[in-house]
Amino acid sequence: MGSSRYRPVIILIAVIAAIQLATLVSGKAFYLTQLTMTAYYSLIVIGLCLLMGFAGQISLGHAGFFAIGGYTSAVLTTLDLAAYRDTATAMLLTRLHVLASRQDLYGATMLSVHPWAACAVAVLLALAVAWAIGIPVLKLKGHYLAMATLGFGTIIYSIVLGTQRFGAADGISSVPPFPLLPGASVSGTASQRVLNYYFAWLLVTAAMVLLVNLINSRVGRALRSIHGAEDAASAMGVDTARFKLSTFMLSAVLAAVAGVFLTHFNGGIGPSEASIMKSVRYVAIVAVGGMASIWGTLIMSVVLNFFSLRGYFGTFDDAVFGGILILIMLFAPDGIIGSDLRALVRKLLPRAETVKKPEK
Amino acid sequence: MIELFFQYLVAGLTYGTIYAIVGIGFNIIYNTTGIINFAQGEFVMLGGMIAVTLHGFLPLPLAVLGAVAITMIIGGLIEVTFIRWLVKPSVLRMIIITIGISILVREGALAVWGEGVRALPYFTGNEVSSLELGGVRVSPQVLWSIGVCSVIVLFLNLFFKHTMLGREMRACAANRDAAALCGIPTRNMITLSFVLSAGIGALAGCVVSPITYTQYNIGAGLAIKGFTVAILGGLGNSMAAVAAGFILGVLESFSIWVLPTAYKDAISISILLAMLFIRPSGLFGNKEAMRLKDF
């Protein structure tokens, strides 16, 4: 059964490589920048797909987790602790590589948190917030859940926008590159473009493998049972609260990781990344992708994010996503990869729900 | 000090009226349809914006009336276009559709009116005129907004309790199937609920516009405040929403004393979250009444 589950993953890897080669051949390597950003946004969206499509819990605040990741990393890596260089704590932390010296724009030496350490803090913080918020919020249903998550997103947005340390309306800029290996880093420099493209999509591929396995496991069946009928699932012995919470936390971590790396890639982050419109956009993409189809969601995420980032929607960017939401929900609540198309796609991309053919 | 206290109180009451009206708007639609209209705040924005535009060539009372009428038509059109023909839509679907509507209305407003901040002139007097009430100076517009809010509440009370149409709407709220069996055109009642809540939202938007100003993007913030109020009062209970509106407005206003203004929204939303976690039936509601609702 393993081979059919991983076939789409292999196709994905092939497509990733093919696109890179295509941009190389056609001399349009600049597309890779948007495709890299698309990858990070896709990471949030597939996490949200697991939460919405499989566990059946809507979140209108996922941009908040993205912002928690991005802003934590941005604040910690741009913090200048040079004044505390000689304190015992700072020396210990430097030895542990938690703090690292680097040159700022003007050549002065500054001491700030190492990006890896900042990333760990960001992920832990996102986990902690998701846990603390998730326990009460996931008890809610329907409109209450939607409003509570919307409220969470709005709180993060207004904190980010109203706090001087977070750069208020300007956001945080001059975030340093994120070192991966010697000579390789997550940054916006043109020489690292191909590497960044592959790194971002590697993360997406890894997340997809994780989610595909999760969906096909006992956990995935438990989640679908929660989506179908929570009370029945509970009666059958599924610990609904725990499954919902861990899904929420997993999707929050994916969003935070996306936030961390996109911030280093862009060299900064602004409050618009935390805005409600972003959260709504992620929900829109999951809806278009067919709610309970991570492959459909990934495909729509790539298409819509790429067009949006390339500026094809112009000033109607938000309106396009609003319109998509309405049209999809009115005419095709199961996504545009509708029944006919879906049957076709199912042949090409075996999905979680597909009944497994008997093994020969 | 005491003067400042009253300043904050009055400011809180002013914002409280608009929150209350948005909360009532939520309740009207919720009661007839069981859905929460996330586009509720946009009606307030539309009312203010249309009135400002109409005021360019019409006297103020006509501009306000015109704005209310146009917003009511828009509210009705929204229902007929997007909601009327859906057969038993799921809650998730309705949430997403109304969010989509709110985005489209906001982006439409941005295209029509631009990003500028607009305001109607003061209904009586101007920015500096004030009335002395027991030693406290109050802008006449504050009295206008509180007065209009009271009239709206009174009108709704009379409408729902003493007119045939109002009673039919309440029947529809209590049990839609039974109402349909009694020959009540339930679909029309739903359209009417959108028209009504658009109308009161627009009226509130006009009245507070001189003080709070109007911009294309105020709707989403108002919607979440209005929902907070509706929850505080207990979803579906319009009279309680008025009290809750004033409570929220005043709390928010006094929060400026201890925290920067930028966190004002965070305060009121924290109240919403706390309410949802601790007492989702509202300050004045009870659990038994909650169970009667259909989710």
pLDDT digits (tens, 9 = 90+) for A319-339: 888 888 888 888 877 766 554
Q: Which domains does chain B show, CATH number per domain?
A: 11-125+136-292 (1.10.3470)
CA nearest to B63, candidates B119, B110, B112: B119
Q: Taking 90 as the threshold, does the pLDDT of residue A64 lie above it?
A: yes
Phi, psi (deg, nearest 5) at residue A3? -65, -40
The helix or strand, by DSSP H or E, that contains position A186, with its residue range, turns out to be: strand A184-186
pLDDT (0 to 100) of residue A340: 52
User: pLDDT band at residue A348, thresholds of 50, 70 and 90?
Assistant: low
In angstroms, rounded to a whole number, what is the distance separating the alpha carbons of residues B275 and B232? Answer: 7
Query: How many Cβ atoms are within 10 Å of B254's Cβ, its own excluded?
Result: 15
Contact criterion met (CB < 8 Å) for A158 and B262: yes
Candidates B225, B230, B218, B235; CA nearest to B270 is: B225
| Chain B residues inside the 8 Å CB shell of A324 | 100
The span from the CA of B270 to the CA of A273, in Å, is 21
- Whether the per-residue pLDDT at A141 is higher than 50: the answer is yes
The 10s digit of each residue's pLDDT in A13-37 is 989 888 888 888 888 888 888 999 9
What percentage of chain B exceeds 70 in pLDDT?
Answer: 95
Nearest CA in chain A to B34: A143
3-class state of residue A181 by DSSP: strand
pLDDT for A346 equals 59
Alpha-helix runs per DSSP H in chain A:
2-26, 31-49, 62-78, 88-95, 115-137, 142-162, 193-215, 218-228, 230-235, 240-266, 276-288, 294-309, 317-331, 339-348
For the residues A32-54, what does the mean pLDDT come to? Answer: 92
Mutate to test the interface with B, among A282, A330, A331, A334 (most CBs of B within 10 A): A330
What are the tens digits of pLDDT across the range B134-164?
667 788 888 888 899 889 988 988 898 899 9
A&B contacts, CB < 8 Å: 117
At residue A333, φ and ψ (nearest 5 deg) are -60, -10
Per-residue pLDDT at A103 exceeds 60 = yes
Inter-chain residue contact A155 with B280, CB threshold 8 Å: no
Please tell me the predicted confidence (pLDDT) of residue A199: 92
In B37-56, the residues whose Cβ lies within 8 Å of chain A are 38
CA dist., res. A201 & res. A68, Å (int)? 22
Would the CB atoms of B280 and A150 count as touching at under 8 Å?
A: no
Q: Which residues from A are below 8 Å from B38, CB to CB?
A: 146
- CA distance linking residue B192 with residue B73, whole number of Å: 10
Residues of A in contact with B35 (CB under 8 A): 143
Judge whether B103 is closer than 8 Å to chain A, CB to CB.
yes
Q: What is the DSSP code (8-state) at residue B58?
A: S
CA A56 – CA A35 distance, rounded (Å) = 29
A323 contacts in chain B (CB < 8 Å):
100, 104
- pLDDT tens readout for residues B169-198: 888 888 888 888 988 888 888 899 999 999
Show pLDDT as tens, one digit a residue, over chain B (295 residues).
Answer: 777 788 888 888 888 888 998 999 988 888 888 788 888 999 999 999 999 999 999 899 999 999 999 999 999 999 999 888 887 777 778 888 898 999 999 999 999 998 888 888 888 877 777 777 766 778 888 888 889 988 998 898 889 889 999 888 888 888 888 888 988 888 888 899 999 999 999 998 998 888 888 888 888 888 888 888 888 888 877 788 888 899 999 988 888 888 877 787 888 888 888 888 887 777 776 555 544 443 2
Of B224, B231, B260, the CB nearest to A162: B260
Statement: residue A97 has pLDDT above 60: yes
Residues of chain A whose beta carbon is less than 8 angstroms from a beta carbon of chain B are: 58, 60, 136-137, 139-144, 146-148, 150-152, 154-155, 158-159, 161-163, 168, 276-277, 280, 283-284, 287, 316, 318-319, 321-326, 329-330, 333
Closest in A140, A277, A316 to B276, CB measured: A140
- Give backbone dihedrals phi and psi of B160, rounded to 5 degrees, phi first: -75, -30
Q: What is the pLDDT of residue A356?
A: 45
Q: Are B95 and A318 an interchain contact pair (Cβ–Cβ within 8 Å)?
A: no
Whether the predicted pLDDT of A171 surpasses 90: no
Which of chain A's residues have a Cβ under 8 Å away from the Cβ of B293?
A: none
**Partner A contacted by B95 (CB < 8 A):** yes
Considering only CB atoms, A321 lies closest to which of B97, B103, B220, namely B103
| CA distance linking residue A258 with residue A178, whole number of Å | 13
pLDDT band at A242 (very low <50, low <70, confident <90, very high): confident
Angle, CA A215 vertex, CA A330 and CA A301 arms, to 5°:
45
Q: Are A227 and A138 in contact (CB under 8 A)?
A: no
Residue A6, φ and ψ in degrees, nearest 5:
-95, -5
What pLDDT was estimated at residue A357?
46
Please indicate whether residue A346 or residue A323 has the higher confidence score (pLDDT).
A323
Terminal C-alpha separation, chain A: 11
Query: What is the model's pLDDT at position A7?
Result: 84
Judged by phi (left if over 0) then psi (alpha if -120 to 50, else beta), residue B183 lies in: left
Question: Rounded to an integer, what distance in angstroms lies between the CA atom of residue B44 and that of residue B17?
Answer: 12
| DSSP-assigned letter for residue A337 | S
| Boundaries of every domain in chain A | 2-348
Unique residue bearing structure tokens 């305001």: B119
Q: What is the pLDDT of residue A345?
A: 57
Across A134-138, average pLDDT: 89
For position B271, what pLDDT does the model report? 84
Whole-angstrom CA distances from A159 to A35, A162, A166, A334, B200 are 30, 5, 9, 35, 32
More confident residue, A99 or B182: B182
pTM over 0.90: no
Tokens of B207: 């009245």
What single-letter amino acid sits at B153? V
Q: How far apart are the first and last CA of chain B?
A: 47
Which candidate from A277, A284, A326 shows the least CB-CB separation from B104? A326
Residues 21-40 of B with CB under 8 A from A: 35-36, 38
pLDDT above 70: residue A270? yes
Does the distance separating the beta carbons of A276 and B95 come in below 8 Å? Answer: no
**Per-residue pLDDT at A355 exceeds 50:** no
